[in-house]
Amino acid sequence: MSDHQPSQENPNAEAASYSGDTIFALSSAPGRAGVSVLRLSGPMSGEALKALTGRKLPTPRLASLRAIRDGQGDVIDKPLILWFPAPKSFTGEDCAEIHVHGSVAILEAVAGRLTELGLRQARPGEFTRRAVEHGKMDLTEAEGLADLIDARTEGQRVQALSNMGGALREIYEGWQGLILDGLAQIEGEIDFADEEDVPDALSHAAYPYLTAAYDSMAEALSAAGRGRAVRDGLQVAIIGVPNAGKSTLLNALIGRDVAITSPQAGTTRDIVEAQAIIAGLPVTFSDTAGLRDSEDAIEAEGVRRARARADDAHLVIHVVRESQAPALDADIIFRNTEGDGASSEPSTASTIVGNALSGAGVSALLDLLEQLILERYAGLENAALTRIRHVECISSALLAVDVARQKLGSDPELASEDLRNALKNIEELAGRSDMEQVFDRIFSSFCIGK
């Protein structure tokens, strides 16, 4: 890269010669702020900095206070500038950061100047995508970064940070190693079948490696639903017959009136949702239509949706009247008493006796919910298959490994091909195969500055 410095009098002198795919974007939150950060990445980053400042590039990775100027040489701002030459940068390309004062006028002026110099606005997730393409991180680590930015609770933060740090990568690299060890045993029999010093049943030595890989992948898949629950949040359905007190209980759990309550049966016809954080995880409570047979088409549809929500929920609270016997499977029974909530019936491990209107028993219900969430979902914040894409890749790899195990004795050549398919699926998990459309789908959900 040239060290030629554009003159102070004509800082735009080199602009016409600038070419290449260099991007820029606001990486901090938009709007008025004390400091806003503009990020640059690509082969023109260094030349753009020199044109902005009229000086040579600063010492790499050392903040430097410099004036930046527009095309007429007038000062736009005096920001901190950091220079990250390739490959020691976030994207693996030449990168820079410009820490300007966070006014809209300054940001628009700097963006306009960068556009004049031949840079273009980054697309959503383009910085992180370039980091993946240059081998600075794999796709699971990039997804962990996106999840970290979106994290709303402590559990989500811990899980995202784990995956961003490469914990899932370490797991799938272990699977790759076991499959490759098994493949080596099979190839030994295929390639050296006529050699006297190669055992006849060498391919059977692959079985322990493949079984270890199979068991580990199966275990990861069994926890995938819980891992996704940490990432996406838990669904808790509140079900029961009309007028059991479901809407009143939802309001009591949330601490405000989010659902309409009425003595008239069938008030709730659609699902009413409200969010809370319990045991460090986001929880969505769903108040549902009262379960009963109805000739009213709208109410009948509400009942259908209620049953579907209960089937899909992570936890179900069945609200029953004081004299009613529970008639549905549920994780928690809330026996809604009349009057002030006093009752001779004690609460049990899965039944809370209380009164939704007065609030009696609601605290105990929340404590029980927290206990169940901790029992079922705590400890899964570490590396996990947290996305449908993860599950699809490893499910395919698991099937291929299982088929290969069955073919070891009869068709080692076919078993070898199955294992190559398993490795291909793991490569797809890592983002190392030809998956342009997958990249487009994943990175389109990132914020612009990432």
Is 363 annotated for ligand binding?
Answer: no
Is 34 annotated for ligand binding?
Answer: no
* Residues 188 and 293 both lie in one domain: no
pTM here? 0.70
Question: Alpha-carbon distance 431 to 439, whole Å?
Answer: 8
Q: What is the mean pLDDT of residues 311-336?
A: 87
SS3 427: helix
Q: What is the pLDDT of residues 62-95, one digit of tens each?
A: 999 999 999 999 999 999 999 999 999 999 999 9
Q: Tell me, rounded to whole angstroms, the distance of Cα 322 from its chain centroid.
A: 42
Which residue, 94, 7, 21, is CA-closest to 56?
7
Which residue, 242, 183, 236, is CA-closest to 424?
183
Lowest mean pLDDT among 38-42, 354-358, 382-386, 401-405: 382-386
Is 265 annotated for ligand binding?
Answer: yes
Residue 336 lies in a domain: yes
Is 342 annotated for ligand binding?
Answer: no
Mean of all residue pLDDT scores within the chain: 84
User: Residue 409, Cβ neighbours under 10 Å: how many?
Assistant: 12
- 103 forms beta bridges with none
Listed ranges 4-8, 14-18, 70-74, 405-409; the one with the highest mean pLDDT? 70-74
With a pLDDT cut of 90, the percent of the chain lying above it is 50
Residue 276 lies in a domain: yes
Structural domain containing residue 406 = 167-223+384-443
Is 267 annotated for ligand binding?
Answer: yes
Task: Quote the longest CA-to-CA distance of the chain.
Answer: 89
* Residues 320 and 363 both lie in one domain: yes
* Residues 203 and 275 both lie in one domain: no
* Residues 271 and 362 both lie in one domain: yes
* Residues 244 and 349 both lie in one domain: yes
Is 337 annotated for ligand binding?
Answer: no
Q: What is the pLDDT of residues 209-245, one digit of tens each?
A: 999 999 999 999 988 888 888 888 899 999 998 888 8
Neighbour-count burial of 415, counting CB atoms closer than 10 A to its CB (0-12 exposed, 13-18 middle, 19+ buried): buried
**Which of the pair, 438 or 298, is modelled with greater confidence?**
298
Is 48 annotated for ligand binding?
Answer: no
* Residues 306 and 212 both lie in one domain: no
* Residues 371 and 257 both lie in one domain: yes
* Residues 343 and 426 both lie in one domain: no
Q: Which residue do the tokens 């080199």 mark? A: 14
> What is residue 262's predicted lDDT score, i.e. its pLDDT?
59
Question: Alpha-carbon distance 138 to 100, whole Å?
Answer: 31
Is 235 annotated for ligand binding?
Answer: no
Which residue, 346, 323, 350, is CA-closest to 336?
323
Count of domains observed in the chain: 3
Residue 142 lies in a domain: no
Give the sign of the dihedral formed by CA 335, CA 339, CA 341, CA 346.
negative
Does the structure show a pLDDT above 90 at 437? no
Q: What is the mean pLDDT of residues 160-173?
A: 91
Is 39 annotated for ligand binding?
Answer: yes
Question: Alpha-carbon distance 231 to 151, whole Å?
Answer: 8
* Residues 252 and 292 both lie in one domain: yes
**Which of the pair, 113 or 265, is modelled with greater confidence?**
113
* Residues 47 and 173 both lie in one domain: no
Is 246 annotated for ligand binding?
Answer: yes
Residue 1 lies in a domain: no
Is 53 annotated for ligand binding?
Answer: no
**CATH code (residue 403):** 1.20.120.430
* Residues 424 and 360 both lie in one domain: no
Is 56 annotated for ligand binding?
Answer: no
Domain boundary among 350, 377, 404: 377
Is 341 annotated for ligand binding?
Answer: no
